[in-house]
Structure 1
C-alpha cells in the first residue's frame, strides 16, 4: 500500500514543480494566449481583445486612399510654345540682298544658335536690340524681330526655334529609369508622358507610388492608377518634383510564425492570410493556429464601430485574435486586411510550452516521455 502511494507521489511532484516553473515564467518566444487575454480591458487591462469575424472584418476594411486633389487635376495644360526665362532659342535670318546687315558676302542667311533668354526674359539680336521673349510664342518673337529689321534691310525673313534649355523643367528622383532634370516640352507636358520620357519606373508596378511636390504641397498616387484613371495624368508646371518609390508600408511578425521579421507590403491591399504566406506560413512544429493575433492602434471611429460603442476618443489599442481552425477561419483571414505598422504575433502550441517546462525539470527535451518514465518509476536518460 505504502509503495503504491509513493510510486504516484513522484509524478505528482513533477507536475507541481512544472506548474511552479511555468508560473515563474520559462523562456519562450513571447506571451502565451492566456497572458494576452489577461491583459484585456475586459479583465482590467489596457487593450481590447476582439475575435475576428465577418462583422469585424467589414468594420476594419479600411485602406488609406491615394490620389491627386482637384486643384492638381483641374490645372490646364500649359502651352509648350510659351517662352520662359532660361529657354534657349535658335534664330535664322534671311536677307533679300547679297551684302546684308548680318549675312556675309557669299550668303544671305545668318544663323544665331543658343540664344538664351536671360533672367529678365530678354534676348539680344544684332540690329534689332533687346527683345522681350519671355511670355511670347516663337511666332510672336519672329514678328517682333522682323519689324525691328525691316527698316534696315529689305524684306527680312526670320525663323525662331525653341530648343531645350534650363527654363520650364521638372526633376525626377527615386526609382525612375533615368533620374535628372527634364525640360517641359510639347510631348512631355503631362505626368505620364514625362515618366515615359524618363524611362518609366524601376519598381514593381503594383506597389510603385508617384509623389508630386508642387511648392510646399506633396500628393501621392499609385502608379497603376495613373493609367487606370486618365484624370490623374495631370499637367506639369515648372519646378515640379516627382519622386518614384515603392510602397513604404510595413508590418512586423513575431512569435511562432514562419519568420520573425519586418516586411513591406507586396500589394496595395494585404490580407492576414497573405501576410502569413509572406512569412512562410506558421511554424509547423511550434505554432498554435488558434492563437494568431494582430496588434494595432486603431482610430477611434473604427474602434467604436468594432466594439459597438460611441464613447471612445483617440487611438485605441486593439488586439484581434484569429482561430484558423474554425470552419471559416481561413476565409476570415483572407478577408481581414493588414494595415501599416501592424504586429502579427503567433502563440506557441501548449505542447511546446509543456515540453519546455518538463525539460527544465528532467534535463531532456522528451518531456512527455520523461514524465511517463517518472510515473512508472523508470530511470531518465539523456
Structure 2
C-alpha cells in the first residue's frame, strides 16, 4: 500500500515536471530567447522580393567583379595643373634688405665718409609696397629682387650719380603654408626653392607621426580641398603638387572603419587599417568566427551601395542608392576564396548569424533549468 502511494506521488511529480517543462518551452517560444541579433532566415525574409527594402545577394565572381572598388582619393585639375611658385618672387609680408652704393663722397643716403647705405627689415605692406628714401613708395610685390633693383636704381639715378643697388629677399615670409595634424613639426613654413612641392614640405616638417600605410594628406586651398594617401604621394609623381601661399596641409590617420556584430570573436567598430582589406581579413581582425555559435553560411556584409555599383551588381538600371545585404557562405567549395576577394568599404557592417542549433541549446538549457528548479522545490516541500 505504501509502495503504491509512493509510486503515485512519484508519477504525479514526473507529470508536474513535464507540465512545467512544456509550459516553459511554450513560454520560451512565445517570448524568445536572448541572442545577438536576427537569424539568417529573418534577414532573408526582408529581401526586396519578399516585400523588404534590402537586396540580398549571394557573393559570387560576378559580384566581386562589379562591387569591388575603393573610392579613390586624389587632387582636382586645379591642384594638378598649378605651376610651382617662383622661389624669388616678392610677396606682401616679405621682408627685404637693401644695400645702396653711391659714387660720391657725400651721397643722398650714405653717412659722411661712407659710400654705402644698408637698409634692413623693409617689410612689404599688404598693398605690395615698400618705402625707399629718395625713391619713394615702390611696388615690390610681383617682382623678383633683380626687377626691384632695377626699379629702385632708375628712381635714384636722377638724384645721385651711378647708384648701385642690391636687393635681398629674406626667407619668403609672405609665401607660407601651414602644416597641422599628425606631423612631427606642425607650424608655418615658408615656400622656398627646396620646398615648393608637397612631399618636400612634409619632409621639411619632419615627416608624419603615424604609420605611413594609414597616413592621409589633405590640402586645403581656398574653397578647394584634395586628399591623397601618403603612399600614393610618393609612388605617383603627379600627386606631388606645387604649393601655393596660404595652403593648409593636414596630416591625419585614416578615419575609415567598419562595424563587426554577431557571432564573432569581438563586436566593435574597427579601423580599416589599410587602403584595401578583404572580408576574410576583416573577420580575422575581430578574432574570427565564433566556433561555438557562428553559422558559416550566414556571414552578411551590409552597406548602402551607390546607384552605379548597384546597377552593375543587379544587372539593371538603378537610379538611387540601394541597401544591399551581401551573403558570404563559407561552406561552399569556393566560399573562402570569394570572401578573400570581397573588399570591405568604409561604413560597412559585418554581421554573422548564430547557428540554428544554438537556439535549441538555449531552449533545452532553459527547459532543463526549469525542470530542475521544480524538482528542487518538490524536494524542499517533502
Q: Into which bin does the TM-score normalised by the smaller protein fall?
A: 0.7 to 0.9
Q: Cα offset for 1:104?
A: 3.3
1:333 is matched with which residue? 339
Q: Is 1:185 matched with 2:164?
A: no
SS in 1 for 2:291: coil
**Alpha-carbon distance in structure 2 between the residues aligned to 1:11 and 1:322:** 41
Q: Is 1:222 matched with 2:234?
A: no
**Structure 2 residue corresponding to 1:67, chosen from 61, 71, 74:** 74
Compared with structure 1, are the counterparts of its residues 157 and 201 closer, same or farther at alpha carbon in structure 2 (3 Å cutoff)? same
* TM-score, length basis structure 1: 0.86
Q: Runs of 5+ in structure 1 lacking a partner?
A: none
Alignment of 1:75-154 (within 5 A): 75-105=82-112, 107-154=114-161
Q: Is 1:300 matched with 2:300?
A: no
2:35 is matched with which residue? 28
Compared with structure 1, are the counterparts of its residues 13 and 307 closer, same or farther at alpha carbon in structure 2 (3 Å cutoff)? farther
Q: RMSD value over aligned CA atoms?
A: 2.8
Of 67-76 and 27-36, deviating more is 67-76
- What CA deviation, in whole Å up to 9, does each residue of 1:96-147 have, x standing for no partner? 4455433334643332221101122111122322211111110011122223
**Alpha-carbon distance in structure 1 between the residues aligned to 2:296 and 2:30:** 23
1:350 is matched with which residue? 356
SS in 1 for 2:147: helix
1:164 is matched with which residue? 171
**Alpha-carbon distance in structure 1 between the residues aligned to 2:256 and 2:310:** 21
Q: Cα offset for 1:70?
A: 2.2
Q: Cα offset for 1:156?
A: 2.9
**Alpha-carbon distance in structure 1 between the residues aligned to 2:265 and 2:183:** 34
- What CA deviation, in whole Å up to 9, does each residue of 1:270-306 have, x standing for no partner? 2101111211212233222222111111123322322
**Alpha-carbon distance in structure 2 between the residues aligned to 1:11 and 1:57:** 53
SS in 2 for 1:34: helix
1:277 is matched with which residue? 284
**Structure 2 residue corresponding to 1:242, chosen from 243, 249, 257:** 249
**Alpha-carbon distance in structure 2 between the residues aligned to 1:128 and 1:194:** 37
Q: Runs of 5+ in structure 2 lacking a partner?
A: 1-9
Q: Is 1:207 matched with 2:214?
A: yes
Q: Is 1:317 matched with 2:323?
A: yes
Compared with structure 1, are the counterparts of its residues 15 and 293 closer, same or farther at alpha carbon in structure 2 (3 Å cutoff)? farther
* TM-score, length basis structure 2: 0.86
